[in-house]
Structure 1
């Protein structure tokens, strides 16, 4: 078993299926775009293991507590890892997490978005360690599609192997 997947298993974490959206909602983009030694990960929201949208939904600081927002950001990281696994074949191909752009669905007056986004960063650092997992990050408040508490996009550096190569 690959190292990162072994760490996920040891932490009791499961990678989710692809996001399931309502009929008629088209998403005409790639979840992960690999170009050279970079993988660009589209914005993801928190999902359950079966790919359904994770609850709670709503604005952090109103319907969603900061702690629930943190948990949602952690689920977004798992969704990113699942998409990377599907695109790359092996999560150990990630040689560096470069940047994370986090968008938090905030209630008026809530300005502690970094506390929420730490759920994403803490998981990546726990899995990959500081050498590979350290990343630049922005964390801003805005309205989020599907009323999800958190939406993140990211960019990683990968090795040059093709999927499945060992």
Structure 2
């Protein structure tokens, strides 16, 4: 078993299946979840998923329907969803040699200004799995309205071998 997959198993974490849209929701998705170009993989925006690929609860704005702790937990699930897509695209997460950039978007209630705290759910998990040498990344965390009323969406860029 590869190193990162073994670490996920040790932590009791499961990578989710691909996104399953809610019943009745139809979206055209004319893009790749992961686009590999040279030594880089660009990861499209992902939301928090359950192991079966359905969108994780709770939904809503952080600071209103979703607590900051729930937002942090959602960001961790977003990291797992991205890792699942990267594993499908790369075949092995150990091919990741550096996390370069993460762009975290948080669905915020008016006046909520703790987006970095929420995005730390993503960053903390990546650092725990990959260590500082590979896992340290540049990051932005902004507040906005998000599709499907997801509390958090993140995109990323990684270097690969």
Please classify the TM superposition score into its range, dividing by the shorter chain length: over 0.9
Equivalents in 2 of 1:30, 1:111: separation in Å?
Answer: 31
Which position in structure 1 is the counterpart of 2:121?
119
Report the counterpart of residue 89 of structure 2 in structure 1: 87
Contiguous gaps of at least 5 residues in structure 1: 160-166
Unaligned runs of at least 5 residues, structure 2: none
User: Partner of 1:129 in structure 2?
Assistant: 131
Measured after TM superposition, the shift of residue 24 of structure 1 is: 2.6
Question: 1:146 deviation in Å?
Answer: 0.5
Runs of 4+ in 1 over 2 A off after TM superposition: none
Q: Map residues 146-165 of structure 1 onto 2, 5 A cutoff.
A: 146-159=148-161
Q: Secondary structure at the match of 1:138?
A: strand
* 2:37 corresponding residue in structure 1: 35
Give the secondary structure class of the aligned counterpart of 2:14: coil
SS at the partner of 1:109? Answer: coil
Calculate the TM-score normalised by the size of structure 1.
Answer: 0.95
Instruction: Quote how far apart the aligned CAs of 1:156 are.
Output: 0.1
2:75 to 49, 73, 77: 73
Local SS of the residue matching 1:146: helix
SS in 2 for 1:98: strand
Superposition TM-score, scaled by structure 2 size: 0.98
CA distance in 2 between partners of 1:41 and 1:128 (Å): 17
What is the CA RMSD across the aligned residues, in angstroms? Answer: 0.6
Following superposition, the deviation at residue 26 of structure 1 comes to 1.7
